[in-house]
Structure 1
Amino acid sequence: MSPEDIVLTPAGLRFRGRRVPCTIGRGGVTTTKKEGDGATPAGHHRIVGMLYRPDRMAPPTDWALPIGPGDLWSDDPRDPDYNTMVRAPHPFGHETLRRPDPLYDLVILTDWNWPEGVAGCGSAIFVHRWRRPGKPTEGCVAMAPGDLLWLARGITRRTRLIVPQP
């Protein structure tokens, strides 16, 4: 592991000598991720991008991309663009990235099942804001807004999210 890695531990995420409380998927950690299982996949996941809401915050890094009004994320295994960012209108199942709540105001993208998504192996694993402490996600890693901003400002394109096997 590199000092630039974010490591999931039983006490939260460890990054640059600090522990950050977080939540993971309601299905726990798995080595056999499937679409809809609510689990966080074990592995070494590269950080491949960062998205933010420009109407709600300044760019956290010089490489973060703004989330626009029509930005979506395809989570439908039937979609040829499965597990990629797409634009509205979109005929397949998707998540809206520009949400009315603040959940996706800042999103760190991992390379889980990306860039060539294998249908049914689970769509995006994001690092994003939590709904509340202790509330599990659908498979992503989530944390308090201040911790997420601190993490976003500290990562680089060499950073990985390390999720140990259960």
Structure 2
Amino acid sequence: MTIFRARPDGSSPWDGQIDWDGTSKRCALGKAGVIAGADKREGDNRSPTGVWPIRYVLYRPDVYPNGPTTALETKPIAADDGWCDAPGDPAYNRPVKLPYPASAERLWRDDPVYDLVVVLGHNDDPPVSGLGSAIFLHLARDGYPGTEGCVALAREDVEALLAAAKPGDAVEIAAD
């Protein structure tokens, strides 16, 4: 099993590094830094520490017509796909179809951030209301600004990570 280890680098709350197989790449973490996984709360802009299994990969089929190169399970994103982030909703921290009656994040975006989305097993077995939703590994914005709690890497680094990943692998978000 490979653990892809993301950690702050100390230059800001969100600047970080992710390491695997002797490789170290830049990443962005939560705008407010990292927090113990058990203390994560919806909307706190923190990345939860812990080891989070990789569940599957979502991808934009217009960007990756044949899907990404990976041994992981992949699923294409449709224009009406969303992810529920409403703590009181029964579909909290689950994929939904849009429009959805409760708050839900759109997965088919105008920017490239969700062209590749690695769904992590944070607060999903089962989801607990308010303990954080939509903790993904995805593409970083230009300049690597902080995320709302996800881990974000350059496109080529996400592609390299996916090429190396196998079923049963996990992403660790560490405090150091």
Which of 53, 63, 67 is the aligned partner of 1:56?
Answer: 63
Which of 6, 11, 15 is the aligned partner of 1:8?
Answer: 6
Q: TM-score, normalised by structure 1?
A: 0.94
Q: Alpha-carbon deviations, 1:9-53, whole Å to 9, x = none?
A: 336000111001101001111011000000000101110110000
Residue 116 of structure 1: CA displacement? 1.6
150-159 vs 91-100, greater mean Cα deviation: 150-159
Q: Is the 8 A contact 1:47 1:161 kept in 2?
A: yes
The equivalent of 1:126 in structure 2 is 136
RMSD over aligned Cα, in angstroms? Answer: 1.3
Q: In structure 2, how many angstroms separate the alpha carbons of the residues matched to 1:115 and 1:88?
A: 23
Q: Is the 8 A contact 1:23 1:133 kept in 2?
A: no
Structure-to-structure mapping, 1:7-156, within 5 angstroms: 7-9=5-7, 10=9, 12-31=17-36, 32-57=39-64, 58-60=66-68, 61=70, 63-156=73-166
Residue 115 of structure 1: CA displacement? 3.4
Q: Is the 8 A contact 2:93 2:124 kept in 1?
A: yes
Residue 152 of structure 1: CA displacement? 1.3
Is the partner of 2:28 in helix, strand or coil? coil
Q: In structure 1, how many angstroms separate the alpha carbons of the residues matched to 2:77 and 2:43?
A: 24
2:6 counterpart letter in structure 1? L
1:88 counterpart letter in structure 2? L
Identity of aligned residues (%): 37
Q: How many residues align?
A: 164
Residue 163 of structure 1: CA displacement? 1.6
Q: Is the 8 A contact 1:113 1:124 kept in 2?
A: no
Is the partner of 1:38 in helix, strand or coil? coil
Q: In structure 2, how many angstroms separate the alpha carbons of the residues matched to 1:72 and 1:130?
A: 19
Gaps of 5+ in 2: 10-15
Q: TM-score, normalised by structure 2?
A: 0.88
Gaps of 5+ in 1: none
Q: In structure 2, how many angstroms separate the alpha carbons of the residues matched to 1:114 and 1:54?
A: 25
